[in-house]
Amino acid sequence: MKFKTLVRPLLVATAAVGATAVAQPAAKPSPEGVATAAQNVIIDRALLTAFKALPSRFEDAKNPITAEKVELGRMLYFDTRLSKNQDLSCNSCHDLNTFGVDNKPTSTGHKKQLGGRNSPTVYNAGGHTTQFWDGRAANLEEQAKGPILNPVEMAMPSADHVVATIKSIPGYVTAFQKSFPGEADPVTYDNLAKAIGAFERQLVTPSRFDKFLGGDDKALTQVEKAGLKTFLDQGCQTCHYGPALGGSLQKLGLVVPYQAKDQGRFDLTKKESDRMVFRVPTLRNVAKTGPWFHDGSITELQTAVKLMAQHQLGKQLTDTDAKQILAFLDSLTGELPKGYIAKPKLPPSGPKTPKPDPT
């Protein structure tokens, strides 16, 4: 997906309707400047029911959160001993200091191998209804198991090898016992995933938009409100809804087909109905999580916004409209949870802990 897609002639669907068409906000001439357009913007709050304010954390009854589990999950999240060459942790590609991403098109894994898709942010990922770009994991716990064993990511040879590594580190054995009390053999790959999941469920980044959703009209600037209005007018919320403003599966190219080698969920399931189906990315912190799209091919957020309007809604956004939407997206940049970002002290290796394996 290169820039040529943006400039190829698009036969806008509305052109077919003729002069008697109902006036559409998208079609009316926009004011020349974003600032000019942003006078006295009033948002109809009923339209905001598509969204939800972020919870303080994303609970799941199947993995009750405890302080012990969160602390264990945090250590595991930062521990490079979960990778074959002990040079990669979850945090390598989903860096908590940089809004949960690495800001690369695709990430560098074991032996500098490049992954096929852009690393999605871990922040607010508990608000997705499905995980990975192709939705191949149902929840964070299931997701956590993937990259550790993926040969082009952390490349551990097997779940058993991961468990043996953890068991060789006495501090971890104690932490697993505390996190999963009453279990005869608490150090399992499933429990490791539960601990990481419990930690990730804490990673929410409330922003001014949440205050606005809560009723504080002044939490957004006039320009941001103008952008929100444009966002709603265009219909972006049909896919970017919920607490994460995204997170469900949708077809990329719903109205105007999107050409790409990566066919999304189809490449996983080989079902025709999954062709070009991808998980809708969260818009939380989207201004900070570029480059954008599943392949990280889009380096300007404004381009991403215009391409989405074109392929998902069959609309051509003006620069003014796109810039207003960018202003709104800025209001989704939230506060990082300071207590969780720094790398914690990790338990020291034992005599049997494997050494880094660069092969």
The residues that are catalytic are: 153
Dist. CA 181–CA 313, nearest whole Å: 51
**Identified binder of its own copies from the candidate list 7, 19, 23, 61, rule CB under 8 A:** 23
Please, what is the minimum distance in Å from the beta carbon of residue 258 to its own copies?
7
318 binds its own copies (CB under 8 A): no
CB-nearer residue toward its own copies: 129 or 353:
129
Helix axes 159-167, 170-179, angle to 10 degrees: 100
CB-nearer residue toward its own copies: 8 or 112:
8
273 binds its own copies (CB under 8 A): yes
**Identified binder of its own copies from the candidate list 39, 174, 259, 299, rule CB under 8 A:** 259
Q: What's the one-letter identity of residue 355?
A: K
277 binds its own copies (CB under 8 A): yes
229 binds its own copies (CB under 8 A): yes
Please, what is the minimum distance in Å from the beta carbon of residue 244 to its own copies?
13
**Identified binder of its own copies from the candidate list 55, 146, 171, 314, rule CB under 8 A:** 314
What would the x/- binding string for its own copies be over residues 116 to 155, using CB under 8 A? -------------xx----xx-x-----------------
Binding residues for heme c: 90, 93-94, 110, 236, 239-240, 308
- Contact residues: its own copies, CB under 8 A: 9-17, 20-25, 42-44, 46-47, 49-50, 129-130, 135-136, 138, 229, 232-233, 235, 238-239, 241, 248-251, 253-260, 263, 265, 269, 271-277, 313-315
Specify binding-site residues.
90, 93-94, 110, 236, 239-240, 308
